[in-house]
Amino acid sequence: MKNRTEYSVYGLNNAISVLSSKKYIINSIIVMNGSVAQLNSQIQCLIKDQKSQLVFLNKKDFLIKCKNKHSQGIIVNFSADFLKELDLYQFNQENICFVIIDQINDPQNLGQIIRTCECAGINGIILPKHGSVHITNAVLQVSQGAFDNINLYMVTNIKNTIDLLKKNDFWIIGMENSLDCKEWYEMDYTKKVAIVFGSESKGIRKLVKKSCDFLSTIPMSGKTNSLNVSASISAVVFERKRQLKSE
């Protein structure tokens, strides 16, 4: 996938991630005079060699460009190709883990999932080409710079991808809201695993669910019948992190 898309992010964390990486083409950097960003030493160091892309604006003009009050005085416009093709030959370690997203359409959720998975040491997130949110400015913004440090993959068919993973010795664990499943902490995440999550409303599609080797659940004690998907992912991937640390 060689086509780059234009994106825009604001705030120190996202700006630092983009400007300190060599993966992106920087189109413009807009800084508000007297802002937190202008006074930040790391930002100052990163923008000193970007003079041709750098624009300083007074507060009034800057706020016309960026209406968000939490911008910290910096906007970075850049071009990137975030979505990679899945190449299993890159991954040979025994405890590799992918998170597979099935039918999640909220960019806020995907942004938080990227941030959580990067913090938990997940090797990559697999997104379907159809029926799911992709990478947007909102997704990048919520991820708070984590997008720069985790692999994001797009596949045409989730079920076929699961079959490919199985042929490469992966165990597939589907997270399901069901009383008949093993609880999430009873699963073994220390091997080569891919963990499948669906949306709160629809869950995992039937054909995808049938392709899973195991189904697991996070039982609810309150009156709400399901967790937000990003919260569910957080519980599972940090349980994996705990198990790896305990080995």
Beta strands in 63-136 (DSSP E): 74-80, 83-84, 97-102, 124-128
User: What DSSP string runs through 158-207?
Assistant: HHHHHHHHHHTT-EEEEE---TTSEEGGGS--SSSEEEEEEBTTTBS-HH
Q: How far apart are CA 45 and CA 47, in angstroms?
A: 6
Among candidates 26, 25, 47, 43, which has minimal Cα distance to 35? 43
Query: What is the share, in percent, of the chain residues with pLDDT greater than 70?
Result: 95
CA distances from 66 to 33, 59, 95, 191, 201 (A): 14, 10, 42, 45, 33
Note the pTM of the prediction, 2 decimals.
0.90
The helix/strand/coil state of 119 is helix
CB atoms within 10 A of CB 56: 14
**Cβ proximity of 223 and 214 under 8 Å:** no
pLDDT digits (tens, 9 = 90+) for 191-241: 999 999 988 777 888 999 999 999 999 887 655 556 788 999 999 999 999
The amino acid occupying position 85 is E
Q: How far apart are CA 27 and CA 13, in angstroms?
A: 18
Give the per-residue pLDDT at 1: 45
pLDDT digits (tens, 9 = 90+) for 73-101: 999 999 999 988 887 776 677 889 999 99
Does 68 have pLDDT greater than 80? no
